[in-house]
């Protein structure tokens, strides 16, 4: 049994280094001539509502956007606030969280609920896409794709 599990365990251990060590991240992004993203800065918490729209209203706009853009069958939708002042990011996922091609990030203005930008997997840099593959290799979800 140990012989058969050595290959998957090796993949799990090697891919885990990307998540925990800067040098591994630098190698991964360096293979695509990119600089790895730096560590996330701790930010001062913002008020939950820092605009004229409520989160319920923003959620309704996000649902309508999904419906209008071929994602009415979304499986999950969650929001992140506070990363950028003045807007809220909704992540709309049509898969079970294991397929970036079936998900996208929608940024809405907290004041007007206008779409600031939409970011899909195809908009990611090559290094970010490679990081996504490493993530799915590490969790074993690559076999589900």
Q: What mean pLDDT value characterizes the chain?
A: 85
If pLDDT is split at 50, 70 and 90, which confidence band does 44 have?
A: low
Nearest to 16 by CA among 145, 125, 139, 98: 139
Distance CA 87, CA 71 (A): 21
Indicate which CATH number applies to the domain containing 67.
Answer: 3.10.450
**Same-domain check for residues 60 and 113:** yes
What torsion, rounded to 10 degrees, do the Cα atoms 17, 20, 24, 25 define?
130
Residue 42 lies in a domain: no
Q: Report the percentage of the chain scoring pLDDT > 90.
A: 41
**Same-domain check for residues 71 and 137:** no
State which residues form the domain around 29: 1-34+125-145
For residue range 81-101, what is the model confidence (pLDDT) as tens digits? 767 778 889 999 998 776 778
pTM of the model: 0.72
Residue 53 lies in a domain: yes
Tell me the C-alpha to C-alpha distance, in Å, between residue 2 and each of 11, 58, 62. Answer: 15, 52, 48
User: Residue 38: what pLDDT?
Assistant: 74
């Amino acid at each position: 049994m140990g012989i058969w599990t050595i290959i998957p365990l090796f993949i799990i251990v090697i891919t885990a280094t990307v998540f925990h060590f800067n040098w591994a991240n630098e190698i991964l992004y360096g293979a695509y001539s990119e600089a790895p993203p730096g560590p996330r800065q701790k930010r001062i918490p913002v008020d939950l509502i820092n605009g004229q729209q409520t989160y319920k209203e923003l959620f309704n706009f996000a649902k309508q956007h999904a419906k209008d853009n071929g994602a009415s069958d979304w499986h999950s939708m969650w929001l992140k606030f506070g990363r950028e002042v003045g807007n809220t990011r909704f992540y709309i996922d049509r898969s079970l969280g294991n397929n970036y091609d079936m998900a996208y990030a929608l940024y809405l203005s907290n004041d007007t609920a206008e779409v600031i930008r939409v970011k899909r997997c195809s908009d990611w840099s090559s290094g970010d896409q490679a990081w996504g593959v490493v993530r799915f290799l590490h969790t074993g979800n690559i076999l589900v794709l």
